[in-house]
Amino acid sequence: MYKVSRQREWIYDYIQSHPDRHMSVEEIYEGLKAENREVSVATVYRNLKILQDENRIASLMLESGKQVFDKTCRPHDHLICTTCQKIFDLDMPYDRSIERKAEHQLHIPIESHSLVLYGTCADCLQKKGKV
Amino acid sequence: MYKVSRQREWIYDYIQSHPDRHMSVEEIYEGLKAENREVSVATVYRNLKILQDENRIASLMLESGKQVFDKTCRPHDHLICTTCQKIFDLDMPYDRSIERKAEHQLHIPIESHSLVLYGTCADCLQKKGKV
DNA sequence: ATAAATGCAAACCTTTTGCACCCTA
DNA sequence: TAGGGTGCAAAAGGTTTGCATTTAT
C-alpha cells in the first residue's frame, strides 16, 4: 500500500537517531530543516501518521495536549522529570501484573495500560545534590 | 482573587451533576446551552481553567488529544472502555506501591503517577454476554 | 468604587485538505 | 504508467485575546 519515500525515511531516521528525546511535530520539522533535509509541514504530519500506522513509531500525548513521538512501538512506561520536563522510556519491565490486579478488583478484562511516572530524573537529581 | 460568578457555578454544577461522564469543553458548552444556561465559549474556556486552578476540578488528556474534565481532584486512576469509549474513575485505591516499586528499580524519587487501564467495562461485558 | 467576569468578534495556532506536479514500483 | 507522495497555499478547527460592558465585593 505505502511506497518508500525519501522524506518519510528522513523523518523516521531523525526519530531513531534521537532516541533520548521525544519530539513534537514542530521539533521534528525544525530539526530536519537544521540538517538541510527540509520537508514541508504537511508532509511531516502525513508521514508521522503513516509511520504510526505501519507500527514503526508510536506517539504519546502529554498532559499539555502536545503530541510527541517515540522511536519504538514496544509497550513500555514513561518517566517525565518534574524538574527538566524530559521524557524517558523506562526499561522497567512493562508490568502486566498491574493489569491482572485490576482485573481481580474490577472483574472485567483489561487489555493494556498506560503508565506515566512523575519524578526527578537521575541527571537532575545529581545536579541538585551538587548545589 | 477570583470572585463568584453565576456562569462559573453553572459550569461547576454541570460537571458535578454528571459524575459518570468526562466531558470536553464542547460537550460542557452544548450541555449547558441545552439546559438554558448559555455561556459563551470563551467563558467556558476561561472558567474551566480557573476551576482547575482552584482545584475544584481536574482534567485528563486523552490519547486523541481531547481534553476532558473530571469532577474531582482526588488522585485516582481511569479505565477507558475499548468498546464504548466511556471513561470511568476507578475506585481502586490509587496505588502508591507502583511508585515505590519504580523508585527501587530506578533509584530516583517518584512523586506521582498517571495510570489509565484499557479494557471492557461491565456494561459492555454484559451486553456482549447477552448476544 | 474597583477589580473581576462576560460576550462578542477578531486573532491565533495547529492540523488538514485540494490540487498540480513528481516519484516509486 | 498507475497510484502513492510532495509542496504549496487555502481551509478548517480549536483556543485565546482585546475591548466595551456588566457584575461582585
Q: State what percent of residues in chain B have pLDDT above 90.
A: 91
Q: Does A74-131 carry CATH code 2.40.50.100?
A: no
Residues of A in contact with B114 (CB under 8 A): 63, 114-116, 118
What is the pLDDT, as a whole number, of residue B131? 64
Q: How far: A123 CA to C22 C1' (Å)? A: 47
> What are the extents of the domains in chain A?
1-73, 74-131
CATH fold, domain B1-73, is: Arc Repressor Mutant, subunit A (1.10.10)
Which residues in chain A come in under a pLDDT of 70? 131
Residues B74-104 have pLDDT tens digits of 999 999 999 999 999 998 888 899 999 999 9
DSSP reduced 3-state for B36: coil
Whole-angstrom CA distances from A76 to A13, A91, B69 are 21, 7, 26
Average pLDDT for B18-31: 95
**Annotated binding-site members of A for Fe cation:** 77, 113
The DSSP bridge pattern shows strands B110-119 and B78-81 to be: parallel
Handedness of CA B86, B87, B93, B94 (dihedral sign): positive
Distance CA B113, CA B106 (A): 14
Mean pLDDT of chain B: 95
Q: State what percent of residues in chain A have pLDDT above 90.
A: 91
In this structure, the number of other CB atoms found within 10 A of the CB of residue B42 comes to 8
* Shortest Cα distance, chain A CAs vs residue B120, angstroms: 6
Could you please report the per-residue DSSP string of B43-110? HHHHHHHHHHHTTS-EEEE-TTS-EEEES--S---EEEETTT--EEE--S---HHHHHHHHHHH-S-E
Confidence of residue B128 (pLDDT cuts 50, 70, 90): confident
**Annotated binding-site members of A:** 77, 81, 84, 113, 121, 124
Q: State what percent of residues in chain A have pLDDT above 70.
A: 98
Distance CA B53, CA B1 (A): 12
Q: Does B63 touch chain A (CB under 8 A)?
A: yes
Instruction: Tell me the three cell numbers of residue B100.
Output: 515505590
Distance CA B96, CA A128 (A): 24
